[in-house]
């Protein structure tokens, strides 16, 4: 009874101290110093906080396991150290069944727990919108980006508009001197992005969104989300794709629906309409595409 009472009185102040400490943390600290959040806690997309929570909670569990393990190692090193006058080896034990069961069950619980929470969040994040408000095709190429804007169906280019970008240009000091390809997104809209490549494997990464997906050769990939905060974000290729991989940068502008529609109107007025998916595709002659075999040097 006394032990229980002592534990209770020990837990209460510890809990208060932890609560006070967490209450004093900034938004950045509460989210593991990850990008994607403003000072008031507003997330960049409807998935950003979920990804951050998975990251932070995983580290909390791992840190707790680490502290307990280090404490037990330290205690064993001190309690069972060789003392003055001792000779020979300590008593050797072949096994200790309770400890071995403990060392088997606890890691199994941790692995299953991490798997369960990861599978739950991944299932939510990877659920693709069947009827998005907008569907955009992001095309990776060495070493820039093309963006094609459709309505609800990325494969229907009848009313699509597009922009084609070039890789970042720098001066002698490495400062970017050119305009980067820019992806426009309407805020609070259901966005579905089709990811495809013109040549090699790339990876589409909007840093503040805390999520990236590969762009495979001959296989389309997709990601769905809702941008929740107007602003400008940085994007880049996250897959080593050749000599100028580091120059494969782009910008993302999340704007109001009215500004988004006005931007598409400017592309339409400039004549940038139709389907550009295969216009400059270097994979057109791959086996299975129906292309007629040609010899090297043929027109």
Q: What pLDDT sits at residue 126?
A: 94
Integer-rounded Cα radius of gyration of the chain: 27
Q: Does 149 share its domain with 236? A: yes
Alpha carbons 53 and 197: distance in angstroms, whole number: 31
Round the average pLDDT of the chain to a whole number and report it.
Answer: 85
Q: What pLDDT sits at residue 299?
A: 45
Q: Are 112 and 91 in contact (CB under 8 A)?
A: no
For the chain, what percent of residues have pLDDT higher than 70?
85
Q: Does 44 share its domain with 72? A: yes
Task: Give 235-248 pLDDT, tens digit per residue.
Answer: 999 999 999 999 99
Alpha carbons 136 and 148: distance in angstroms, whole number: 6
Q: Does 118 share its domain with 185? A: no
Q: Indicate the SS3 state at residue 298.
A: coil
pTM for the model: 0.79
Q: Which residues contact 272 (CB under 8 A, 6 or more apart)?
A: 161, 162, 163
48 domain residue, yes or no: yes
pLDDT, average across residues 40-55? 91
Q: Does 138 share its domain with 257? A: yes
Residue 233 domain boundaries: 134-269
Q: Does 166 share its domain with 61? A: no
Task: Give 67-111 pLDDT, tens digit per residue.
Answer: 999 998 999 889 888 888 888 887 877 788 888 898 899 999 999
Q: What pLDDT sits at residue 155?
A: 82
Asked if pLDDT for residue 292 goes beyond 90, the answer is no
Q: Does 148 share its domain with 249? A: yes
Specify the number of domains making up the chain.
2
| CATH number (domain holding residue 216) | 2.60.40.420
């Amino acid at each position: 009874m006394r032990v229980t009472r002592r534990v209770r009185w020990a837990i209460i102040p510890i809990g208060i101290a932890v609560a006070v400490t967490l209450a004093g943390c900034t938004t950045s600290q509460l989210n593991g110093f990850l990008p994607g959040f403003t000072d008031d806690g507003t997330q960049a997309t409807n998935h950003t906080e979920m990804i951050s929570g998975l990251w932070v909670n995983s580290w909390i569990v791992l840190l707790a396991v680490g502290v307990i393990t280090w404490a037990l190692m330290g205690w064993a090193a001190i309690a069972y150290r060789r003392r003055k006058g001792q000779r020979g080896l300590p008593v050797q034990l072949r096994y200790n069944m309770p400890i071995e069961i403990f060392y088997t069950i606890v890691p199994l619980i941790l692995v299953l727990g991490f798997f369960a929470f990861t599978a739950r969040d991944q299932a939510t994040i990877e659920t693709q919108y069947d009827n998005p408000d907008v569907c955009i095709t992001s095309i990776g190429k060495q070493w820039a980006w093309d963006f094609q804007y459709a309505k609800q169906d990325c494969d229907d280019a009848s009313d699509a508009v597009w922009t084609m970008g070039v890789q970042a240009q720098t001066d002698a000091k490495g400062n970017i001197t050119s305009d980067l390809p820019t992806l426009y997104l309407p805020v609070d809209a259901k966005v579905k992005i089709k990811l495809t490549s013109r040549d090699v494997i790339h990876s589409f990464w909007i840093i503040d969104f805390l999520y990236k997906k590969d762009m495979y050769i001959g296989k389309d990939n997709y990601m769905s989300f809702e941008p929740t905060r107007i602003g400008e974000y940085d994007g880049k290729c996250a897959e080593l794709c050749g000599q100028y991989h580091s120059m494969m940068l782009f910008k993302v502008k999340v704007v109001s629906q009215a500004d988004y529609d006005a931007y598409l109107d400017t592309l339409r007025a400039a004549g940038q309409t139709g389907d550009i998916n295969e216009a400059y595709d270097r994979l057109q002659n791959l086996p299975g595409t129906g292309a007629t075999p040609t010899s090297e040097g043929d027109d």
